[in-house]
């Protein structure tokens, strides 16, 4: 393939934005899209009365609650780069979706609320990035509000996350006294709330303002110079290599809501973030610049267009070039399929895409043949990419249709929503009742809402509490099923015991040493 192809691949930057709910993730996404010219008017997530909703929160329940519960994908061009942003749900009940999304990116942007510091959910997602060796960029948000001191935030970041940090810029004041940021990377000061023409102040070789400038009168300026001197002498050194292997995080300060520090962050991010990386497969590492097309499906979303009852499979392209109309293999099933319907995303705006290259995320119309984790290849290639993380559900409900006449809608809705992977479906062996399993309660609420709105099927859910799910190797005597160790089958017809608690699990294992139990999560660590 031409140089043009390799230039295109190398211009891709594909990242996920991760954070705790309310840290400002969707707001930052909006502002980045604004710089890319992808949207003309950034809607704020909380702006309910204006009827404007954040572009990346498209599902009805997200609009009502003001939270993101599904990962959105957006693409825009900025300077010479093509950026693919995956905005992930911050709510912990949807961390499974986020974990899978992290397998499809080459870097991650972590947003921290400067008033709250590092919160539990951020830490959990951060550890997944560390485990995968994903480069991490940190944006300390909401500097226009009073928060923790920058030195305190850095110390917390290094201590809790066990990572080195390098501040690319440094705040001058905070809250009502926030004057701007001292940009170490570009050797300039970016002033807050001034005319565009005065926004940037160039610094001299010593890193100070030349001449007579009102900022020099502020004690905050002197304090910032002292802190910068401290960072230069005692702080970590910047290392591209450490950023690339995820052991040092560049830190940026700013305010996404006020759109301050966002452009500086974006330009620095594009300088240091990796282009598409090689991926592990059953045939070794696959080079993103290799000519043969391949990719994997990391998410399936039903009813992005409720009028059409469609299902979209999100595909990360890992090598070669996608061309609409091409024929691909699905090695898991041995089937071939012609890809005639494909889309690019701008949240709920979708346009048909004819070509895409390694690093891009595209949507494929799913006729019901794909599963999360499927690899797609061309020609004689039949390799498969690494398995995606599978979560063992902890909470269970019994689900039935409220209206017996709507059984058809009920079954169709369940089958389609279960394929998205957020909730899992089980059937009791003796009575054929439906049970749903999930990692968090909010997933059941979303399921109930979507069954009613998208499939016109109202459901009745009875909580079964938390259970310990263990799969069974080989066959098992169905008479071992009881209320404390309920035998069910999953949607692949594999038998699973749902134990009431740890005691019930241990008791069962003592009494039935021949029954081999396993947890799929343990096998993937």
- Binding-site residue positions for GTP: 19-26, 87-91, 141-144
Residue 255 is given by DSSP the state B
Other Cβ atoms closer than 10 A to 433: 14
d(CA 508, CA 484) in angstroms, rounded, equals 9
Tell me the two tokens of residue 398: 């019994």
Helices 407-418 and 441-455: crossing angle in degrees, nearest 10, is 130
Q: What are phi and psi of 437, to 5 degrees?
A: -120, 145
257 SS3 class? coil
Q: Are 47 and 57 in contact (CB under 8 A)?
A: no
| Element holding 364 (H helix, E strand) | strand 361-365
Q: 170 and 241 in contact (C-beta within 8 Å)?
A: no
Bridge partners for 297 per DSSP: 315
* Torsion angle of C-alpha atoms 233, 265, 262, 69, degrees rounded to 10: -110
d(CA 190, CA 192): 7
| Binding-site positions | 19-26, 87-91, 141-144
The 3-state secondary structure of 406-449 reads HHHHHHHHHHHHHCCCCCEEEEECCCCCEEEEECCHHHHHHHHH
Cα–Cα distance for residue pair 428/487, rounded to 1 Å: 6
**Rounded Cα gap, residues 312 and 306, in angstroms:** 12
In the numeric block, which tokens belong to residue 478?
């169905």
Q: What is the DSSP letter of 378?
A: -
Residues 6+ apart with CB under 8 A from 416: 302, 303, 311, 455
Token reading at 377: 């290849």
What residues form DSSP beta bridges with 328? 337
Backbone dihedral angles phi then psi of residue 454, each to the nearest 5 degrees:
-100, -25
Structure tokens that stand for 465 in this block: 């509490």
Could you give the CA distance from residue 516 to residue 476 in angstroms, rounded to a whole number? 9
CB-based contacts of 472, cutoff 8 Å, min separation 6? 494, 495, 496, 497, 515, 516, 517, 518
Q: How far apart are CA 451 and CA 447, in angstroms?
A: 6
Measured from the Cβ of residue 178, the count of other Cβ atoms closer than 10 Å reads 22
């Amino acid at each position: 393939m031409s140089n043009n192809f390799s230039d295109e691949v190398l211009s891709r930057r594909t990242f996920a934005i991760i954070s705790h709910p309310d840290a400002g993730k969707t707001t930052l996404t909006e502002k980045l899209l604004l710089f890319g010219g992808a949207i003309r008017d950034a809607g704020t997530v909380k702006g309910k009365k204006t009827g404007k909703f954040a572009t990346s929160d498209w599902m009805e329940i997200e609009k009502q609650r003001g939270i993101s519960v599904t990962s959105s994908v957006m693409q825009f061009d900025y300077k010479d780069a093509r950026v693919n942003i995956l905005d992930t749900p911050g709510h912990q009940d949807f961390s499974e979706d986020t974990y899978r999304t992290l397998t499809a990116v080459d870097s991650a942007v972590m947003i921290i609320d400067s008033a709250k510091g590092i919160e539990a959910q951020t830490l959990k997602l951060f550890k997944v990035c560390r485990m995968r060796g994903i480069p991490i960029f940190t944006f300390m948000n909401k500097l226009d509000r009073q928060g923790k001191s920058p030195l305190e935030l850095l110390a917390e970041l290094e201590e809790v996350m066990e990572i080195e940090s390098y501040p690319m810029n440094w705040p001058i004041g905070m809250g009502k006294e926030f004057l701007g940021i001292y940009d170490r990377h570009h050797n300039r000061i970016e002033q807050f709330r001034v005319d565009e023409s005065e926004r940037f102040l160039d610094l001299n070789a010593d890193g100070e303002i030349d001449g007579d400038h009102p900022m020099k009168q502020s004690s905050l300026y002197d304090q910032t110079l002292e802190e910068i001197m401290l960072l230069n002498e005692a702080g970590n050194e910047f290392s591209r290599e450490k950023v690339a292997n995820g052991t040092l995080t560049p830190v940026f300060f700013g305010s996404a809501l006020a759109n301050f520090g966002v452009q500086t962050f974006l330009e620095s991010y594009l300088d240091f973030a990796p282009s598409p990386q090689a991926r592990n497969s059953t045939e070794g590492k696959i080079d993103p610049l290799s000519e043969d097309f391949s990719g994997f499906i990391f998410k399936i979303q039903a009813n992005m267009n409720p009028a059409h009852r469609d299902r979209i499979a999100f595909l990360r392209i890992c090598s070669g070039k996608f061309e609409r109309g091409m024929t691909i293999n699905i090695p898991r099933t041995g089937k071939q399929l012609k890809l005639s319907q494909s889309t690019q995303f701008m949240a709920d705006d979708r346009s048909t895409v004819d070509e895409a290259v390694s690093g891009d995320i595209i949507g494929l119309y799913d006729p019901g043949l794909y599963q999360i984790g499927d690899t797609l290849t061309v020609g004689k290639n039949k390799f498969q990419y690494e398995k995606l993380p599978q979560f063992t559900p902890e909470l269970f409900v019994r689900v039935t249709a409220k209206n017996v006449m709507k059984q058809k809608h009920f079954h169709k809705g369940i089958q389609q929503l279960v394929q998205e992977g957020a909730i899992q479906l089980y059937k009791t062996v003796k009575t054929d009742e439906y049970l749903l399993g999930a990692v968090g309660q909010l997933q059941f609420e979303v399921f109930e809402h979507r069954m009613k709105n998208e499939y016109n099927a109202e459901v009745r859910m009875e909580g079964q509490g938390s259970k310990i799910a263990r799969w069974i190797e080989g066959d098992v005597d169905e008479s071992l099923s009881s209320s404390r160790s309920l035998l069910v089958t999953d949607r692949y017809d594999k038998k699973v015991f749902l134990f009431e608690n740890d005691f019930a699990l241990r008791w069962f294992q003592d009494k039935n040493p021949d029954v081999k139990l396993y947890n799929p999560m343990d096998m993937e660590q």
